[in-house]
Amino acid sequence: MGLRRKNKSPPVLSHEFVIQNHADAVSCLAMGLLLGLMFEVTAKYVIIFITVQYNVTYITDDKSEPIHFYEYGPKDIATIIFYMLIAIILHAVIQEYVLDKINRRLHLSKTKHSKFNESGQLAFFYLFSFAWGASILTAEEFMTNPTLLWKDYPHSHMLFQVKFFYVCQIAYWLHALPELYFQKIRKEDIPRQLYYICLYIAHISGAYVLNLQRLGLILLVPHYLVELIFHASRLFYFSDENKQKGFTLWALLFVMARLLTLTLSVLTFGFGLARVENPGFSIADGNFNVLTVRISCLAAICLTQAWMMWKFINFQLKKWREHIQNQIPKKKITYTKSKSTKKEPNRGQ
């Protein structure tokens, strides 16, 4: 064997250089922001990027401890940018220290390699988000009482966990946009990934800005569970193509999640918010309970669910056709074998 040639480092600021070193550059930027907390001059500016803003404190007579709530505002953009940088760093860590090592063992093709990386990253995110969202739901009462989804609207005051959850969700899906470039996603896969990334950003940001955090949270948690099962099943499928039972469970839960989403959305926008005591439109109060907004939100959710069901049906039909095509050669082989065994006695006579 000859000696391996060392890979030449790409030119500085070239596309390949940026792709290879983007995680290090982002880490330095995030570290610089954290170091800004050490100096009094910069701390008051850097704190906007790191901590959750717009704290509102209430002091009640019956409780000695004050109650802390949070609202949203323009400074949240800075916080989202910082945690978007953190998401890029975590993405690179998972890719290098987990997914790449598994890929070397599986020896996948380029197409499966790209899908494996996508499912691996999303499986980690869905698992973390589902566990986090479920813990918030268990602490809230509106999981068992659906009327709290619209009662006392607008829900402009959020608990810390709820606000931080939404900030991290928006930051993660925004980070997925530059990752299409950093991960060198194939051109034919970019439109498909752009569709669901933009849908996540639009729906989560809409729920956050319109003070529909409760509805958004109770819809996201079961949806993330379904997506987690799908991507985990796809990971097992890439390791062993005989492991396909997870897709059956995913198909069942997928339909149930779509029905749950439509039911809660119609119940909230069609009946609940239409009958609250303070309908009106006020940006200052965070009240967007008018007919136009309700119809627009309900239409957006229904159209998204219809599009997802259409993709789901096409996916199932494609799998069904592939299954039939794989069964035809097997039937021909069994038929020829049975035919040859019937002729064998005649040859011996």
Q: What is the pLDDT of residues 30-81, one digit of tens each?
A: 999 999 999 989 999 999 999 999 998 877 666 567 788 999 999 999 999 9
Residue 10 binned pLDDT confidence (cut-offs 50, 70, 90): confident
Q: In the 8-state DSSP scheme, what is residue 64?
A: S
Q: How far is CA 302 from CA 56, 214, 253, 258, 305, in A?
A: 35, 18, 18, 9, 5
Lowest mean pLDDT among 150-154, 155-159, 219-223, 279-283: 279-283
Report whether pLDDT(348) > 50: no
If you average pLDDT over residues 299-328, what whole number do you get? 88
Report whether pLDDT(166) > 90: yes
pTM for the whole structure: 0.88
Report whether pLDDT(342) > 70: no
Higher per-residue pLDDT: 285 or 59: 285
Q: CB of 173 within 8 A of CB of 207?
A: no
* Closest alpha carbon to 183 in 23, 11, 6, 347: 23
Q: CB of 246 within 8 A of CB of 232?
A: yes
Lowest mean pLDDT among 14-18, 147-151, 203-207, 214-218: 14-18
Provide DSSP, 115-135: HHHHHHHHHHHHHHHHHHHHH
CA-based R_g, the chain, Å: 26
* Closest alpha carbon to 53 in 189, 177, 163, 129: 163
CA distance 175 to 97: 19
Higher per-residue pLDDT: 126 or 2: 126
Task: Report the percentage of the chain scoring pLDDT > 70.
Answer: 90
Burial class (CB in 10 A: 0-12, 13-18, 19+), 65: exposed
Which pLDDT value is given to residue 15?
76
Any bridge partners for residue 281, and if so which?
Answer: 288
User: pLDDT tens-digit profile of 241-266?
Assistant: 777 788 899 999 999 999 999 999 99
* Closest alpha carbon to 160 in 282, 72, 254, 272: 72
Average pLDDT of every residue of the chain: 87
Which pLDDT value is given to residue 4?
42
Q: Which residues contact 35 (CB under 8 A, 6 or more apart)?
A: none
Higher per-residue pLDDT: 166 or 9: 166
CA distance 97 to 47: 31
Which pLDDT value is given to residue 229?
96
Residue 328 binned pLDDT confidence (cut-offs 50, 70, 90): low
The identity of residue 233, as a single letter, is S
User: pLDDT tens-digit profile of 292-306?
Assistant: 999 999 999 999 999
Q: How far is CA 159 from CA 54, 79, 138, 206, 293, in A?
A: 11, 16, 14, 18, 25
Q: CB of 161 within 8 A of CB of 136?
A: yes
Q: In the 8-state DSSP scheme, what is residue 211?
A: T
Q: What is the 3-state secondary structure (H, E, C) of 226-258?
A: HHHHHHHHHHHHHHCCCCCHHHHHHHHHHHHHH
